[in-house]
Amino acid sequence: MKMRLIPMLLLAAFIQPALAEEDAQAKNLAESRKLAQDFVQKLGGTLKQQLAAGGAESAIGVCKQVAPAMAAEYSKDGRMVKRVSLKPRNQTLGTPDAWEVQRLQSFDRGVVEGKPVSEMEFSAVTDGPDGRWFRYLKAIPTQVMCLQCHGQPYQIKDDVKALLAKEYPDDQATGYSAGSVRGAISIRQKLD
């Protein structure tokens, strides 16, 4: 009887931590999904209001000031939230790290394969010199309203182009079409 009990106790000692980590990852994933959805809905609603009230020019201010403030507001309790893109408008805040680049590229491949952008997400636990992190990336689909500032050059009005050039001299965030991946909400949660 004792001989059977020892292997079972050893097995339980290995399984218990694995199950606890799996539960923690599921919790982090659920929280990240909700946070990303809230962020996109809140930002999208604000953008729609500004587009209706003052046109694309006033929406530029939302992306430049309101979106980073929202990301800062959501970044707490060891969590970091930001918007990233392979073609960032704001180089300082929107340039992806190597992990994010790989995932964004996989999202672009998914579009080519016909996968809906609204369903594209990726999560993982990563280890690095700055510790252990739960990482989450949720694709941001390009909406028709986004094309006023992010579309093909011929779709963007001259006054909007001029304001973008002034506000973002190194802007890369144009040339998108409706339904393409504009970027992603990136969430990093520090793990103990």
Domain boundaries, the chain: 2-190
Evaluate if residue 50 carries a pLDDT over 60: yes
* Mean pLDDT, residues 183-190 taken together: 96
Evaluate if residue 15 carries a pLDDT over 80: no
Residue 12 binned pLDDT confidence (cut-offs 50, 70, 90): low
Residue 86: per-residue pLDDT: 98
Residue 10: per-residue pLDDT: 57
Evaluate if residue 28 carries a pLDDT over 60: yes
**Cβ atoms 138, 150 nearer than 8 A:** no
Using the Cα atoms of residue 133, residue 28, residue 138 and residue 144 in order, give the sign of their dihedral.
Answer: negative
Residue 4: per-residue pLDDT: 64
How many other β-carbons are positioned within 10 Å of the β-carbon of residue 174? 17
DSSP per residue, 72-103: HHH--TTEEEEEE-SS-SSHHHH---HHHHHH
Residue 23: per-residue pLDDT: 74
Residue 1: per-residue pLDDT: 54
* Mean pLDDT, residues 22-38 taken together: 90
pTM: 0.85
* Mean pLDDT, residues 58-70 taken together: 92
Q: What percent of the chain has pLDDT over 70?
A: 89
The one-character DSSP state at 179 is T
**Cβ atoms 155, 147 nearer than 8 A:** yes
Evaluate if residue 25 carries a pLDDT over 90: no
